[in-house]
Amino acid sequence: MDVSLASAWAALGGEPGLLRRVSTVVREGALPARLPVRELARACVGVCALAAAEWAARRAGLAQVPRVRVDDGAVAAAFVSERHLLIDGRAPVTFAPLSRFWRTTDGWVRTHANYPHHRERLLSALGLPEGDATAVGAALAERSSLEVEEAVYAAGGLAVALRTPQQWAAHDQAAAVTAGPLVEHDRTDTAHARVTPRPGAAGAAAAAGPVPSGGGPLLPAAGVRVLDLTRVIAGPVATRTLALLGADVLRVDPPGTPELPDQHIDTGFGKRSTALDLTRAADRRVFGELLAGADVVVTGYRPGALDRFGLSPEDLLARRPGLVVAQLSAWGPYGPWAGRRGFDSLVQVATGIAVVEGSAERPGALPAQALDHGTGYLLAAAVLRSLTEGAADGHGRVVRLSLARTAAWLLEGAARGGEAYRAGGGGVEAFDGAEGRLAERDSPVGRLRYALPPVSFDGGPGDWARPPGPWGVDEARWR
């Protein structure tokens, strides 16, 4: 399977003829890497924009799907949005001191300790009551990579041994991941959903055509209510994109584990944020009321982690027939690592990407957290395609994606080689960095500089309707 717009669109079950509506501006030098990262990023954003345009055409009754334009420059800026973000002139810190590569007796291991609880579990696994980089490095240098991987995992932390692509291919989890499709999507046999989500001021505008008479943008997801149960980058990128397209996105987090503030700001555009403790009966009732009015639920926790709250796909669909349930995980829903925590940086290390981008002696990394961002846009595309299909047959959908499967797609694309398919031409231009692709605005959390969204189609929005606000302060209700 090559890394191309066509293969991604096929994985989403899209009509091949719609690819003719896409044009691409190729910019040499964008997202440089040994692996076809630029092609992956272009494909993920392209199918997301095409799925948005397709859904817009169906809702508005348009004769043609609006034209889509994918610009490598805009895509590259968006794939490193966390690096472009400034908050009152301050640049966020993206990785904590203990989130990095470390030498072991037989190679390398990478840890992730951005969250305080993950840092504590890493130190506990190493027998360190407190610790800085020097102490952690000394402890890891005395152990093998696999020993560290298993010990930290057993303590509830995150560490992954460096593997080559060949070593990963021999792993049982790799076999489970590659046995499945890039995008797993199933139609449910539950009662029918609403054919078109509720209208409203935004919904009426969306129904008016690609350029509504009032001069506003076409918002294909207007009136769609999305419960966002995701964290970190990939899931929030997906729901940030749905918010761009007009959806009412309400992010719900447990109050005891707040999101990292800067990370929340980067992915919080267009959304609202509330906190509910699902161990409390009162908060469960509130969540049930939200679910009763939802059209989409997006989850980004480990498979099975939410089941004890009655939030498995089966339970959600039983409680809210016709729902679209979108599940994101690090390692996939099947296999021995399905229940493990994971992040983009760790998946790069386990799957051999870090070796390809560097070497076994000196591991490297992709030029962006491309597994996170790419999977996020694919996830948003899968939700949009589910809404389009559900409008036709009235049924809900369950879609599943994982960072590890996206990594496999990237490695498969490298094995095939060659420039990815570009529909509709569009030309080749020099890469000029983020020039013209950043914006500034005031927000409740300060003056922001940020990357503009890369999802672009005729009549569509060019920016989010609202900036991000503080984490967890919004009311737990729909607009």
Which of 169-183, 212-226, 379-393, 461-475 is the least confident region? Answer: 212-226
pLDDT score recorded for residue 189: 67
pLDDT score recorded for residue 195: 42
In the predicted model, is pLDDT for residue 415 greater than 90? Answer: no
Question: Max Cα separation, the chain?
Answer: 68
In the predicted model, is pLDDT for residue 226 greater than 80? Answer: yes
What token pair was written down for 166? 């060949």
pLDDT score recorded for residue 216: 77
Instruction: Indicate if the alpha-carbon torsion angle 163, 233, 337, 147 is positive or negative.
Output: positive
* Calpha distance 184→296 (Å, rounded): 16
Known catalytic residues are 372
pLDDT score recorded for residue 96: 87
pLDDT in tens, 254-288: 998 878 889 999 999 999 999 999 999 999 999 99
In the predicted model, is pLDDT for residue 208 greater than 80? Answer: no
3-state secondary structure of 87: strand
- From the list 436, 421, 465, 440, the residue with the least C-alpha distance to 1 is 421
> Which H or E run includes 26?
strand 22-28
Find out whether 403 and 341 touch, Cβ atoms under 8 Å: no
In the predicted model, is pLDDT for residue 147 greater than 70? Answer: yes
* Calpha distance 399→388 (Å, rounded): 14
Expressed in angstroms, the distance from the first to the final Cα of the chain is 42
pLDDT score recorded for residue 205: 36
Q: Using 50, 70 and 90 to split pLDDT, how confident is the model at 454?
A: very high
pLDDT score recorded for residue 137: 92
Share of the chain above pLDDT 90, in %: 76
In the predicted model, is pLDDT for residue 123 greater than 60? Answer: yes
3-state secondary structure of 335: coil
Find out whether 431 and 30 touch, Cβ atoms under 8 Å: yes
* Calpha distance 204→223 (Å, rounded): 9
3-state secondary structure of 402: strand
* Calpha distance 299→284 (Å, rounded): 17
In the predicted model, is pLDDT for residue 411 greater than 90? Answer: yes
Q: Using 50, 70 and 90 to split pLDDT, how confident is the model at 417?
A: low
Give the type of residue at 194.
Answer: R
Q: Using 50, 70 and 90 to split pLDDT, how confident is the model at 105?
A: very high
In the predicted model, is pLDDT for residue 155 greater than 90? Answer: yes
Neighbouring residues of 475: CB distance < 8 A, sequence distance ≥ 6: 274
What token pair was written down for 272? 């609202």
Strands 101-103 and 108-111: antiparallel
- From the list 48, 114, 92, the residue with the least C-alpha distance to 450 is 92
* Cα-to-chain-centroid distance, residue 214: 32
In the predicted model, is pLDDT for residue 215 greater than 80? Answer: no
Q: How many CA atoms lie within 13 A of 297 on its CB side?
A: 28
pLDDT in tens, 325-339: 999 999 999 999 998
pLDDT in tens, 19-40: 999 999 999 999 999 999 999 9
Share of the chain above pLDDT 70, in %: 91
Give the type of residue at 386.
Answer: S
Mean pLDDT of 427-454: 89
pLDDT score recorded for residue 425: 54
In the predicted model, is pLDDT for residue 197 greater than 60? Answer: no
Per-residue burial over 162-174, b if 16 or more Cβ lie within 10 Å, else e, is bbebebbeebebb
3-state secondary structure of 332: coil
In the predicted model, is pLDDT for residue 118 greater than 70? Answer: yes
What token pair was written down for 213? 């008479």
Instruction: Indicate if the alpha-carbon torsion angle 50, 52, 55, 59 is positive or negative.
Output: negative
pLDDT in tens, 348-373: 999 999 999 999 999 999 999 999 99
pLDDT score recorded for residue 439: 97
